[in-house]
Structure 1
Amino acid sequence: MKGVTGEESQRRGMRGQFFSFMIILLFLGSLLTTLMLYMLDKKNMKFRRHLPKMKIVPRSTNSCKNCGESIKKAVEISYKTWKKQEDNFRHFRFQLSSRCHGFDKAIITQTNTPLGSKLVYDGEKKRTLQVKPEIFNTFPKGDPFSNKTRSTCAVVGNGGILTNSKCGKMIDSAEFVIRCNLPPVSNGYEKHVGSKTNLVTVNPSILLDKYGSLMERRRPLMEKLYSYGDSMLLLPAFSYGVSTLVSLRAFYTVEDFQSPIRPVFLNPQYLESLALFWDSQGVKAVRLSTGIMMTSLALELCNNVHLYGFWPFSVHPHSFQDLTNHYYDDKPAKKNVHAMPTEFSLLLQLHTQGVLQLHLGDCEPDYY
């Protein structure tokens, strides 16, 4: 064997140094990559944790100091299994019914509002109306709820969160379904919001603005009401003076067209009691939203209350995608009237207490 020359030994030494250098570089590269991934993951976790505060814009012009916290809490509870807390439910129902008496007073009847009595408008405290025969005859004679407690109620709000939610079958499975302000329940919306309706509300402003105060053609309104079958049509006829005549015209229109839908009037005395009750719970607003009014009624009428479409924020709680104001349009709510984020926060609290179940996001696959 020949000996190793000095030049070859030098080359081998250089190769050894090169391989050692490469190993060090690989080690440092691996270490740097690990560090970068760690920092990136930490940054992403921090981003996800604070994303609600960055994205949330309330659907109300009222101050909303805790919107980010509300959506964060909502996302957290939406992944938890909800369980009814019977003691909490019974306690809250007792508080509500003992102060508001929804079963007996929510709807004006000939029993709770006799001929010759005086109606005091809840939205205009100085306005009154004496109940004369022509008005009295529009009131139902008996209890519209038949003094019967329902097993399940679905109160369906109109929030954009219902878009593509596939909640239709789940909503329609409820014994009693309440809808707000004449929302669409056909033409493809059935899959996401259902179609079953036992009670539907209508704000008189809809009759004034969309149906020309019913002073001209009335058929468009009747075509709209057809989709609600023989449900009750609930109108706040005696909240504001401007509401009374148009609500009475709606009543007579239904009568003239011999529609199966049944117009009834919200009792201003009940609405006044309801406003005082929720004020004691922290809702400070010019007027309660229709959604929380109907939720209150459902809590008295039903043993199990499910809410859908209640979401006052402009992004989805799970996907963070932008939402329209309603599932059928993007018309903004009236300014400085409702305290929507505050109402939602209280409903979220009732959900966590097991009093009612607030459904957020898409419905379960079993209901698709």
Structure 2
Amino acid sequence: MSIDILPAGRARRGFRDVPVPVVVIALAAIIYVTAAVITGQTNQISFAGLTGLLQRTVALGLVGLGQTFAILVGSIDLSVAALISTVAVLASYLMQGDPGMIVPAIAACLALALCVGAINGGLVAYWGINPLIATLSTGLILQGVLSAGFTYLGGRVAPEYQALAYQGLFGVPLPVLLLAVLALVAWFVLAKTRFGAHLYAVGGNPDGAKLAGLRVERFVLAAHIIASLGACVAGLYLAARLQSGTPWIGRDGIYDLESIAIVVIGGTALSGGKGGVIGTIAGVLLFASLDASFNMFGVDAFLKQVLRGAIVIAAVAVYAVRNKGHVA
């Protein structure tokens, strides 16, 4: 009989101790490489193939970064999809192909996002309205305004503005660089600043945060503004990619529900106070690998949605079992 004695301060490490983002990224890599090998499309496992993979999910990643802030404070934003469509249409309408209107158009879209985020945050933080109801209502209002007005307005972005979607730097597409830079900024804010620490405190224990003297309402408001700004950047990018704005860009739940899914899959708790940007990027990579794998196998578009939903459920279930009995 032998007794296994571990040094003081050390403990056995198992699957439950592996960070969620690491697990998700490993799963994404396994899925992508396996699909490429089975289908004989090993050329996808290259620098060009991987950057192309990332480029197709830039918009979802941008929305996910903003959504992370909202969920970290225990809230949520269902207006992002409608805001994306509105921003894309507004930007193309204001530009009308004129390079001189690029800056005013971007400024107008950012101002709109600030207003929408402030309304969402105000309704949730100061009026006490459930975030699902508040943000869904804001999204419906945006959709109604879009359908009533902007649908019939023509417009196109300036040719120079399209560089945002189609140009690159050192072989890396600009959209991928944009996502990487904003992800780094978001990570720094959450991990290295007092504001980020307070966001975690507000999401983890709102009552305790109030007792500690934090203005909880202000942080919830700020989180919603950041979520709207993330959707705004995604809309501006999609306008450059499509060369014009269309009212249906953000519809069908692609950006509101899936942005929530990638955040949660990456380990951010819906109750708030736990998670972060690295997990969100991991969730984006998982969704990107799934889409690429489905395309390699030629999976039907409708079946893709079914498989996506099943995988999200499975991933969240594994995460719940993995953390069963652990203190968050």
Q: TM-score of the superposition, structure 2-length normalised?
A: 0.27
Structure that is richer in helix per residue: 2
Structure label with greater radius of gyration: 1
Q: TM-score of the superposition, structure 1-length normalised?
A: 0.25
Structure that is richer in strand per residue: 1
